[in-house]
Structure 1
Amino acid sequence: MKSISSRARFGRRIGAAAIGLAACLPFTTPADAADAAAPKAEAPLRAAPDWTVTVSPYLWGASLSGDAAVFHHKRAVDVPFRDTVKDLKFGFMGAIEIQRGKLGFFANGQYTDVESNERLRWLDIGVGTRSTMLAAGASYRLFEAALGGDTVHGAPRIFALDPLAGVRWTRMTGSISVAGAGLSKTEAWFDPLIGARMTLDIDERWNLFAEADVGGFGVGSRITYNAQAYLGYRTTLLGRPTMLRAGYRALYQDYRDGGFLWKVTQHGPVLGASMQF
């Protein structure tokens, strides 16, 4: 029975190793990630002609579920956030947005390096995964309605809709080593994406933000979906207008190439801050 339990634990480790882990500790340097995927910038003052820059470090506490395969070895993926944190070696997540009037440009990225070890009978087996996701694109203010009054940052309270378009690049490397000898496999692909975002100023401090996009279309992934929503609170940090945000994000990707399969949903809570310059 002990041998069977070891194989079961090892199977779960292999399943986790076939994926790019989307959980890490936030860095204060620069919205996956995608990704158009992080807390986004607050709309600048409509009367201001200058460009604004918003930097957003964040933490995505993602769990993973679905199917993954490396070297034709398919495994069910069911990795809670606590397991990804336990095996995390290094990671960062951040986003930056540049905006002027109705036009905006965004970029976000996340990187994780995870390594775990398991002993199966007399063998020491190491499993590792490195995952990178970068997203970039542009948005345009298509609709804006004044709600009356100003926010604490001096901008008019608004309800706004912005369509967006961009691209998401994903790169994953999975490795396995037995008694010092190992194999690794790397896959990378681009997914075009289109979507929209919504912002609603509830009052002078509170803001509701939501975004969704769809992409892939067979160019990279067969299909990919991304959705996120955040409740934001306006304050000031280090003398700069800042939005503290909490919400939830889910990202689904269905990518296949030979013996590699990544058909996984990453989902979980997000905490972050968007500081405007």
Structure 2
Amino acid sequence: MRFTPKWKLWLLSQIGLTLIASSFANAQALSRDPTDPDAWRHSITPYLFLPLSTTGTSTVDGTSVDLDLNLSEVLDILQGAASVRYEGWNGDFGIISEVYYVKLGEDGNLPIGNATVDVDVRQTFFNVQGAYRFAEGVNVSGRRYAADAAIGVQWNRLKQEIDLAGPGPGMTLGGTEDWFEPLIALRYAVELNDKWSFATRATLSGFGVNGDDLQYVALAGFDWKGWENTSLRFGYQFYGIDYSTDRDGGEFAYDIDQNGIYAAVAFHF
């Protein structure tokens, strides 16, 4: 590969830390069974987030790199990803959980001393939330609407590691950080017709706990119930994170904002 003068390989590697997505702000709250309103309803939703724009700063061992990336640059270094969201509701109370994993990487040659560089970036999170539906009804158009709030805890793992090898001793920059943080969310959904619904959701987490000043998600989109127990979801999302901590080698930080398209398929049972 060709290594650019501005350390593009390192710069591109950092995008993985904010491929954190959230699933569609769905209309799960509208799916109460009229024949048994207190029966459990479940959904499993694999999802995908495609960041069209990523801007911010990544810091490894005290050295910062400015980011300004498009989707094609992200896809060039993507090595694997998996993400899924679960929701279970009984009456007005629900349980929500998400699992997310992404791995990015690249290797190449530095323009100095025939040295090689291997970049390994991985991000994982898992959260559990308790939810409560605090409003529901029928609007003036005769369509159902619902609103719910959630509170929970999220475990995060970020890895930014760069291995340098070549003439002389090699070296490793960066490393891995794990932390827990609190999370809150608010969601609103409304039916548009028998097949379509619209929903929006906002999520905040971190609040300065364990080095994460703030993570946010703001998204809006549509749900199309094309089959009895399956629906397709798509929309637009804004995401940001401001995390930093001190390591032996220097500051380890990630301050980024993204926006892009998300898509999902939801299975209801």
Fold shared per TM-score above 0.5: yes
User: Deviations 1:122-175 (Å, cap 9, x if unpaired)?
Assistant: 22222120111222202111011124899xxxxxx4111111112232211111
Correspondent of 2:192 among 192, 197, 202: 202
State the identity %. Answer: 25
Assess, with a 3 A threshold, how the Cα gap between structure 1 residues 125 and 116 changes in structure 2: closer, same or farther. same
Q: TM-score, normalised by structure 2?
A: 0.85
8 A contact 1:40–1:97 mirrored in 2: no
Residue 14 and residue 125 in structure 1: after superposition, are their counterparts in 2 closer, same or farther (change >3 A)? same
Query: What is aligned with 1:26?
Result: none
In structure 2, the partner of 1:125 is 117
Aligned-pair CA distance for 1:178: 2.0
Q: Distance in 1 between matches of 2:24 and 2:99?
A: 9
Residues 128-137 or 205-214, more deviating: 128-137
TM superposition shift of 1:57: 0.9
1:97 to 87, 90, 93: 87
Q: CA deviation at 1:6?
A: 2.8
* Equivalent AA in structure 2 for residue 95 of structure 1: R
How far apart are residue 39 of structure 1 and its match? 4.5
Q: Which amino acid aligns with 2:61?
A: F
Amino acid at match of 2:218: A
Task: Say whether 1:263 aligns with 2:252.
Answer: no
Conserved in 1, the CA contact under 8 Å of 2:123 and 2:159? Answer: yes
Residues 1:52 and 2:27 aligned together: no
Per the alignment, residue 250 of structure 1 pairs with: 238
Structure 2 residues without counterparts, runs of 5 or longer: none
What is the total number of aligned residue pairs between the two structures? 253
Q: What secondary structure is seen at the aligned counterpart in 2 of 1:199?
A: strand
Query: What is the TM-score of this pair, normalised by structure 1?
Result: 0.83
CA contact (8 A) 1:163 1:196 kept: yes
Corresponding residue of 1:211: 201
Give, in whole Å, the separation in 1 of the partners of 2:35 and 2:131. 19
**In 2, Cα distance between the equivalents of 1:6 and 1:20?**
20
2:264 is matched with 272
Secondary structure in structure 1 of the residue aligned to 2:12: helix
SS of residue matched to 2:16: coil
Q: CA RMSD in A?
A: 2.3
Tell me how far apart the structure 1 counterparts of residues 196 and 4 of structure 2 sit (CA, whole Å): 50
